[in-house]
């Protein structure tokens, strides 16, 4: 029993130790790639190709004064960024990275992920509230409304997957795709999941809680130093998580079709697929403007929710008639 426990702990440590630097690297990747797409250089000074930029940023952030605004609600102000980062990290516990890597094979893995995604909103709402600043409050309010609206159909969008695979266990969902990825039949579900995922991770065009042209920095206006870095970390981990979940649910996880699968180990395939999604996220950020708050909510309730329901019904009907 003991060695098994130790082995699990080691695995968790390794995964976290890899995930956090990866999120940090992602900041550099994003800045660099956006730079190139926008005909600029991006950060290219620290280390080869600027690869150590994130390290430099981290050092700078560590050296900053840990300032808590005197007008804020101290305890909640400190807790908020921690909640955000923890919720995202917890979600990674159920992600199957490869046939034998993965912290937990929870049989309700998918539900666990949805629950954690919902909990993460507390981070933003509490940050907005505890800052006791008008811009932060507006950002927090927007985040609350946005997350509540979007997670409704985020849950609905993946029900098609559950219907077809008959399980909430993410590892089994991946294995069920060995005959063919679920994107073939669940492309509508995938689209909805992706939109909701972008909204959950507050990325452009759904970055209204922090919309810098309107609310200066939204919910994290008053944050600086390490606590700000935690929000940042949470955001980039969130991007990785949504990418990973898209891959697991719709693109066969670590699985690849026959000739390709032998070329690289499953974990590498998994990471490559994730990176494709991350790049897509970054591309979205460079190319789209931001809708207005009420338009965003309207889009969620009037378009995405009916679409998610329709997808679920059609999937169920096809399943009953034996087409799928």
Contact positions vs other proteins (CB under 8 A)? 34, 37-40, 134-135, 138, 204-205, 207, 211-216, 285-295
**10 versus 283: smaller Cβ distance to other proteins:** 283
**88 versus 204: smaller Cβ distance to other proteins:** 204
Closest distance to other proteins from the beta carbon of 292 (Å): 5
**34 versus 55: smaller Cβ distance to other proteins:** 34
**225 versus 291: smaller Cβ distance to other proteins:** 291
Closest distance to other proteins from the beta carbon of 204 (Å): 6
**129 versus 250: smaller Cβ distance to other proteins:** 129
| CA distances from residue 251 to 7, 177, 254, 300 in whole angstroms, order as listed | 29, 8, 9, 24
Closest distance to other proteins from the beta carbon of 265 (Å): 36
3-state secondary structure of 313: helix
Closest distance to other proteins from the beta carbon of 294 (Å): 7
Write out the two tokens for 246.
């898209």
Closest distance to other proteins from the beta carbon of 52 (Å): 24
Measured on CA atoms in the order 207, 90, 247, 262, is the torsion positive or negative? positive
d(CA 216, CA 107): 42
Count Cβ atoms below 10 Å from residue 63 Cβ, excluding itself. 8
The reply to whether omega before 205 is within 30° of 0 (cis) is yes
Closest distance to other proteins from the beta carbon of 222 (Å): 15
**170 versus 194: smaller Cβ distance to other proteins:** 194
Q: Do the Cβ atoms of 152 and 121 come closer than 8 Å? A: no
**151 versus 210: smaller Cβ distance to other proteins:** 210
Q: Do the Cβ atoms of 302 and 151 come closer than 8 Å? A: no
3-state secondary structure of 98: strand
Closest distance to other proteins from the beta carbon of 202 (Å): 13
Write out the two tokens for 181.
């990825």
- The DSSP secondary-structure symbol of 43 reads S
Count Cβ atoms below 10 Å from residue 318 Cβ, excluding itself. 15
Closest CA to 81 of 123, 126, 111, 23: 123
């Amino acid at each position: 029993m003991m060695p098994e426990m130790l082995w699990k702990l080691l695995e968790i440590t390794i995964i976290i130790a890899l995930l956090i630097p990866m999120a940090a690297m992602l900041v550099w990747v994003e800045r660099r790639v956006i730079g190139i797409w926008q005909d600029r250089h991006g950060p290219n000074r620290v280390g080869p190709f600027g690869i150590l930029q994130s390290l430099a940023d981290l050092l700078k952030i560590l050296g900053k004064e840990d300032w808590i605004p005197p007008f804020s609600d101290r305890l909640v102000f400190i807790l908020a960024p921690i909640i955000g980062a923890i919720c995202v990290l917890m979600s990674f516990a159920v992600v199957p990275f490869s046939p034998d890597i993965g912290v937990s094979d929870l049989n309700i893995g998918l539900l666990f992920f949805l629950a954690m995604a919902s909990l993460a909103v507390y981070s933003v709402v509490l940050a907005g509230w505890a800052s006791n600043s008008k811009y932060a409050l507006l950002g927090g309010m927007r985040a609350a409304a946005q997350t509540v609206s979007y997670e409704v159909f985020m849950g609905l969008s993946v029900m098609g997957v559950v219907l077809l695979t008959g399980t909430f266990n993410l590892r089994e969902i991946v294995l069920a795709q060995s005959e063919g990825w679920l994107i073939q039949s669940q492309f509508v579900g995938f689209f909805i999941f992706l939109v909701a995922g972008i909204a959950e991770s507050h990325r452009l065009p759904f970055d209204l809680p922090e919309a810098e042209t309107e609310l200066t920095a939204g919910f994290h206006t008053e944050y600086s130093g390490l606590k700000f870095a935690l929000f940042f970390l949470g955001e980039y981990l969130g991007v990785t998580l949504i990418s990973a979940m898209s891959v697991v649910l719709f693109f066969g996880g670590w699985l690849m079709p026959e000739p390709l699968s032998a070329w690289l180990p499953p974990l590498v395939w998994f990471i490559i697929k994730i990176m494709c999604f991350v790049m897509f996220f970054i591309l979205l950020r460079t190319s789209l403007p931001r809708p207005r708050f009420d338009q965003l909510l309207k889009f969620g309730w009037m378009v995405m929710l009916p679409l998610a329901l329709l997808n679920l019904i059609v999937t169920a009907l096809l399943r009953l008639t034996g087409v799928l």
